[in-house]
Amino acid sequence: MIIVLLGPPGSGKGTQAELIYKKFNFFHFSTGNILRNEVKEKTKIGQEIESIINAGKLISDKIIIQIVDNKITEKLGHYKGFLFDGFPRNLDQAQALDTLLNKGNQTLSTVIQLYVDEKEAVKRIQKRKLEEKRQDDNEDVLKSRLKVYLNETKPLLDFYQKENKLNKINGMQTINDVNNQINDFILSLKNT
């Protein structure tokens, strides 16, 4: 099963992905985590992208698609499922994902949209700033991340709606309630 989690910063993609991959034995693929690790390890890519992440802008598709190709291709077929968190972020990345899955004789099963309003997203990111000290968790950068989501990622909702793959879940419930709803949904897919 191949699942994409879509939603703005603070919608709970990472939180839910952690719970889902453990329960269902899926492979959790978070481009944000991978990129932050590259920065932390000061790799060549890490040095190139640090200022872009800290400005709340998207990293180039070329770098992202290369990372996805490297980390996913060999794993296709070896896991019960894949959970994409933070990828795809725009239409070109969505097409790259389709191509990659086709090559591995796989198709995208579903897209789970977690929706939260901006006020809630801001509140959560302010809280996480104190806990995790992510460099991009400050008010100005968050504004840029939200704008990028609206301009570049939100069009994916229409794209996946047209493919009948979009499933919306209210991300403004408790973590547990959101998780129960997602688990039920995944189980219902497994049974069809």
Residues that bind ligand AP5 in the complex, under the rule CB under 6 A:
7, 9-15, 31-32, 35, 52-53, 56-59, 64, 86-87, 89, 93, 124, 127-128, 136, 145, 171, 174-175, 178
Pick one of ligand AP5, Mg ion, none as the site partner of residue 59 (Cβ within 5 to 8 A by kind).
ligand AP5
Binding partner of residue 12 among ligand AP5, Mg ion, none, CB cut-off 5 to 8 Å per kind = ligand AP5
List of residues 6+ apart from 132 with CB closer than 8 A: none
Min separation Cβ 142 and Mg ion, Å:
13
Q: Helix H segments across the chain? A: 13-24, 31-40, 44-54, 61-72, 91-103, 118-132, 139-148, 155-162, 175-190
Q: How many residues does the chain have?
A: 192
Query: Which residue, 115, 110, 114, is CA-closest to 164?
Result: 110
- Does residue 14 interact with Mg ion by CB under 5 A? yes
CB 53 within 8 A of CB 89: no
Closest approach of ligand AP5 to the CB of residue 48, in Å:
12
CB contact set of 140 (below 8 Å; sequence gap of 6+): 56
Q: How far is the CB of 4 from ligand AP5 (least distance, A)?
A: 11
The CB-of-34 to ligand AP5 minimum distance in angstroms stands at 8
For residues 32 and 78, give the distance between their C-alpha atoms in angstroms, rounded to a whole number: 23
CB of 182 to Mg ion, least distance (A): 15
Does residue 46 interact with Mg ion by CB under 5 A?
Answer: no
Choose between 28 and 89: whose C-beta lies nearer to ligand AP5: 89
Determine the interface stretch with Mg ion among 13-21, 133-141, 158-166, 176-184 (rule: CB under 5 A). Answer: 13-21
Is 13 or 124 the residue whose CB approaches Mg ion more closely? 13
Sign of the C-alpha dihedral computed for residues 29, 184, 6 and 39 taken in this order: negative
Residue numbers at the binding site for Mg ion (CB under 5 A): 13-14
